[in-house]
Amino acid sequence: MKIPKLKKIESVKKHHGISLEDDYAWVDQPNILEVLKDPGKLLPDVKEYIKENNSQTENYFKDVKNLQKKIFNEIKSKIKLEDTSLKFKDKKYYYWTKTQTKGNYTKNVRQIIDGSKPEEIYFDGDLEKKKCGSEYFGLGSISVSHCDKFLAYSLDLKGSEYYTIYLRDLDDNKNKKDVIENTSGSITWSLDGKSFFYSKLDQFHRPRQIYKHIIGAPVNTDELIFEEKDETFTCGISLSSDEKFFIISTSDHITTEEYFFPSDTKFIKPVLFQKREKDVRYSLDSWKEYFYIQTNKDARDYKILRCKIENIDKLEEFIPAKKETVIGSLEFLDDFIVRGEKADAIPKLFVRNIKTNEEEEIKISNETIGCPGVSLMQRDRNTSKIRVSWESMKTQSKIYEYDILTKEKKLVKEVEIPSGHNPDKYVIERIKAKSHDGRMIPISLLRLKNSKKDGKSKILLYAYGAYKHSISPSFSVSRFCLVDRGITFAIAHIRGGGDLGDVWHEEGKKKLKKNTFLDYIACANHLINQKYTYKGGICFYGGSAGGLTGGALANMAPDLFFSMLLLVPFVDTMTTMLNKKLPLTPSEWELWGNPINSKEYFEYILSYSPYNNLDKKNYPSMLITTSLFDNRVLYSEPIKYIAKLRDVKTDENPQLLKCKMEAAGHGGMSGRDNAITELAEEYSFILKTAKIYD
């Protein structure tokens, strides 16, 4: 097999007196952000290299095309293609969604509550995609005005997350002339339905301005109501639970600042709630004469404060902090408050009686490890009924109508798996591995009940480990394509994520980032020692910042793996953190450190950055993916990584690059069938490298 070669141009740049050599630095073309909008601006040599790699990858998969088709059909057979969501009762209409067998996108439906008129599809994803004539169809928001007359929606037709907002009159179902380009995609309606708020993207793809658009008015006359001056902060706007206030939130990864103004005011003048304080995050909501504040000030895993709306300086503790427990946000009813919390990477739901202040847990299932959820049934909060849900790694989602007063629950929807599914065939386990510093790292496992712990099985060990993002032990029908073939699916709840709260996140970022990688290695070794698998029997699976974790592990402990999937991976960490003009870089210095200003951070990032630490050694088989239109992890990172990897590696294993040159985003191509196709290809790579071909 001919291995594609990328030309080298010697480049040496000095930072803090340290030379940074990079023969592929030229791939980071100065106008790289322009490629997100116009792929014609891609450097010709890079374009040719991508085509050669895509051809090589396609050739690699030739002998498993039938397996891919089989997996595609398996996954699709597990999905109820024609399905209907539960209805939400608004003021005048019921709103819900539908999917159909032949379609790839959701249909949004409504019907007048009294049933005097038939139901109407007010937004048909498949029809809208056809009208756009675009291969990619990224939907940002679909938002109906409070008067039920107008629909505002936002579309990204390339995958680069530059959203255009459109406006439609639902009376005649025709689009109006109001078109707003280069937005973040979010839409927040005013209560009178005559205007809405949106966030504008700046030249570096950062939402730092909030505008008010009046229906029918020229876009260039839109009122700027808020502007964030700090380039590391981004902002957005939302409506409070009682609809009395609009809340403006501006933040970086560790600090927030919030403003509010009355929802019925004609002259907008945002009021600062609490001045930003480094490393203090808070969120604001209002209900029944009180502001409620979820904050991590003096409570790393949050607590809830409240104050009278007319006296925001007099705060009282409403829900105190709990040790090693994440206190979640609140959902309000007239007489009850529902909230979530999480301890030991296991979430729970609680309900509080506002009159008596008594609180109790809502228990939905006898399973100990899973994911509970809660949602409102109607816009009118004068009710004791809510919807609660439960799913686990082996049990599909079930939604119940739950009466808080009587504690009665009625099953109203269960995810149907047409091809059949028996949860009793599987076992969920929660075990813990001791990391290098004594920290116990949770691992969630899903395997066949009849599988043997004999040290001979292969295991897919998924991980992320960044942005305080938690990996829930939730249900996924597609995983059973692997589990039913004898591969155990496991999640390593490593530091850097938020599975065990803020401290868990803090211990996996900046100068403690290597804990993320060492935690994973500890989990892998524990699984080997406990005979769930063997050295070389593990598949790494992760994307974006999870791809950084995988890239670092490939350098640190390549002999653990039989294969690795690095999906849109953040592997050229140093180059990205040195470029303050990229969309995410300034705000991310709080996560990785600023190597421009600090020699310490420069040296630390350099010590683990996957691209910079590639060396002469054997690497496992790899599938690496990217997209020309991805603004979160630019295509240049995986391209440079695969080129350098092939320069230094000493093995004969296939390391493949697949770069989407057609419209696709950070999450891949749009549409149900495209998503299943991509998953089938990834799974075929895992199975082929595992030597499982049926």
Model confidence pLDDT, tens digit, residues 160-173: 889 999 999 999 99
| pLDDT-derived band at 668, boundaries 50, 70, 90 | low
Quick: pLDDT tens for 339-348: 999 988 889 9
Alpha helices for 154-261 (secondary structure H): none
| pLDDT-derived band at 96, boundaries 50, 70, 90 | very high
On the question of pLDDT at 665 being above 80, the answer is no
**Residue 179's closest CA among 142, 147, 132, 215?**
215
Instruction: Output the pLDDT for position 62.
Output: 96
Instruction: Output the pLDDT for position 361.
Output: 94
Quick: pLDDT tens for 146-205: 999 999 999 998 888 899 999 999 999 999 999 999 999 999 999 999 999 999 999 888
On the question of pLDDT at 626 being above 70, the answer is yes
Instruction: Output the pLDDT for position 674.
Output: 85
**Mean pLDDT across 90-102:** 94
d(CA 177, CA 218): 9
On the question of pLDDT at 1 being above 90, the answer is no
**From the CB of residue 79, how many other CB atoms can be counted at a distance below 10 Å?**
18
Quick: pLDDT tens for 244-257: 999 999 999 889 99
Q: Which of 23-37, 456-470, 550-564 has the lowest mean pLDDT?
A: 23-37
Q: Please report, as a single letter, which amino acid is at residue 477.
A: V
**Residue 251's closest CA among 205, 306, 216, 206?**
206
Instruction: Output the pLDDT for position 341.
Output: 92
Q: Please report, as a single letter, which amino acid is at residue 637.
A: E
Structure tokens at 519: 């935690």
**Mean pLDDT across 79-87:** 94
Instruction: Output the pLDDT for position 664.
Output: 62
| pLDDT-derived band at 581, boundaries 50, 70, 90 | confident
Is 565 in contact with 542 (CB distance < 8 Å)?
A: yes
Instruction: Output the pLDDT for position 344.
Output: 83
Quick: pLDDT tens for 309-360: 999 999 999 999 998 899 998 999 999 999 999 988 889 999 999 999 899 9
On the question of pLDDT at 29 being above 70, the answer is yes
Sign of the CA dihedral with 536 first, then 542, 547, and 549 last: negative
Gyration radius of the chain over CA positions: 26
Instruction: Output the pLDDT for position 667.
Output: 62
Instruction: Output the pLDDT for position 672.
Output: 83
d(CA 49, CA 646): 13
Instruction: Output the pLDDT for position 666.
Output: 65
d(CA 581, CA 110): 44
H or E element at residue 32 = helix 32-35
Instruction: Output the pLDDT for position 631.
Output: 74
Instruction: Output the pLDDT for position 34.
Output: 86
Sign of the CA dihedral with 246 first, then 252, 253, and 257 last: negative
Structure tokens at 607: 């010590």
Quick: pLDDT tens for 30-51: 988 888 788 889 999 999 999 9
Alpha helices for 530-618 (secondary structure H): 545-556, 573-577, 585-592, 599-608
Instruction: Output the pLDDT for position 2.
Output: 81
Instruction: Output the pLDDT for position 632.
Output: 79
pTM for this model (two decimals): 0.89
3-class secondary structure, 523: helix
Q: Who wins on pLDDT, 613 or 266?
A: 613
On the question of pLDDT at 534 being above 80, the answer is yes
Structure tokens at 206: 């950062």
Instruction: Output the pLDDT for position 161.
Output: 86
d(CA 76, CA 99): 13
d(CA 344, CA 643): 41
d(CA 423, CA 131): 42
For 298-338, give the DSSP string: T-TT-EEEEEETT-TT--EEEE--BTTEEEEEEEE-SSEEE
Structure tokens at 229: 């001056």
On the question of pLDDT at 648 being above 90, the answer is yes
Is 412 in contact with 387 (CB distance < 8 Å)?
A: yes
Q: Which of 73-77, 392-396, 483-487, 660-664 has the lowest mean pLDDT?
A: 660-664
Q: Which of 9-18, 215-224, 338-347, 599-608 has the lowest mean pLDDT?
A: 338-347
Quick: pLDDT tens for 103-114: 889 999 999 999
Structure tokens at 43: 């450097």
